[in-house]
Chains A and B, each alone.
Chain A
Amino acid sequence: EVQLLDSGGGLVQPGGSLKLSCAASGFDFGGYAMSWVRQAPGKGLEWVSTLSGSGRSTYYSDSVKGRFTISRDNSKNTLFLQMNSLRAEDTAIYFCAKKADSVVTEFDSWGQGTLVTVSS
């Protein structure tokens, strides 16, 4: 059974940094692209970033490009999101999500989410 466990969320001041983690199990982690998707309070889903299975190809939404960095450690079956220069509008639940195969495919499994609050 595929399991994705998101962690690392919390309260951070504007301009601060935070690093999210997603521990994966139940599948060949390195064989699948992975993503982060966020949801602001009371709002819809917003794609943040995607990383290929090898880790060589990265994709970012315009709203986070240059501030966030997605990475993975395939030896530890873990996905990361380093978030810098955080803004109030980055406040959201962050979900890690597994792609069914490559970066262009659907999200077939999701983590439970971790809440990031950016506030002074």
Chain B
Amino acid sequence: SYVLTQAPSVSVTPGQTARITCGGNNIGSYSVNWYQQKAGQAPVLVVHDDSDRPSGIPERLSGSNSGNTATLTISRAEAGDEADYYCQVWDGSTDHVVFGGGTKLTVL
């Protein structure tokens, strides 16, 4: 089955740029979605189809996808960005949804 790998944690200083990666075999050929989950809340879609943002998501959050790595970039990080972030794809070979293990972003 397809596996998505994320680092357990990433730290960033307020105002700096955080990059959260999602590794997978030839993930560049998949459409990647990203979700933000704050403590005690349901997940929220922040990027879909590699780099598109739903309405209401700030431009500071952006996505890219190439080769074996997809990346969620959070520019000018704020305290409110502290959350767990999950990448997700649809694996057409198995008709399964696949989530990465999640990355906890800490804004120090």
* Chain A residues proximal to chain B, CB less than 8 Å: 35, 37, 44-47, 50, 59, 61-62, 95, 100, 103-108, 110-113
Q: Is the CB of A106 within 8 A of B49?
A: yes
A106 CB to closest chain B CB (Å) equals 4
Q: Decide yes or no: A47 and B98 within 8 Å by CB, A107-B33, A107-B35 being known contacts.
A: yes
A57's closest neighbor in chain B, by CB?
Answer: B95
Interface 1/0s, chain B 39-76, versus A by CB < 8 A?
00011110011000010000000000000000000000
Q: A61 contacts which chain B residues (CB < 8 A)?
A: 96
Q: Is the CB of B97 within 8 A of A50?
A: yes
Q: Is the CB of B96 within 8 A of A107?
A: no
Give the size category of B's interface with A: 20 to 34
Docked Cα-Cα span, A79 to B101, in Å, equals 26
Q: Is the CB of A47 within 8 A of B99?
A: yes
Q: A113 contacts which chain B residues (CB < 8 A)?
A: 42
Given A45-B43, A105-B90, A106-B33, 7 further pairs, Cβ under 8 A: A37-B97, A44-B99, A44-B102, A45-B88, A47-B98, A106-B48, A107-B45
Q: Is the CB of B97 within 8 A of A47?
A: yes
Q: Does B92 contact A (CB under 8 A)?
A: yes
Q: B97 contacts which chain A residues (CB < 8 A)?
A: 35, 37, 47, 50, 59
26 contacts between A and B (CB under 8 A): A37-B43, A37-B97, A44-B100, A44-B102, A45-B37, A45-B86, A45-B88, A46-B99, A47-B96, A47-B97, A47-B99, A59-B96, A62-B1, A103-B95, A104-B31, A104-B92, A105-B90, A106-B33, A106-B48, A106-B88, A107-B33, A107-B88, A110-B42, A110-B43, A112-B42, A113-B42
Q: Is the CB of B54 within 8 A of A108?
A: yes
Docked Cα-Cα span, A45 to B98, in Å, equals 9
A4's closest neighbor in chain B, by CB?
Answer: B42
Chain A CB within 10 Å, residue with most, of B35, B84, B98: B35
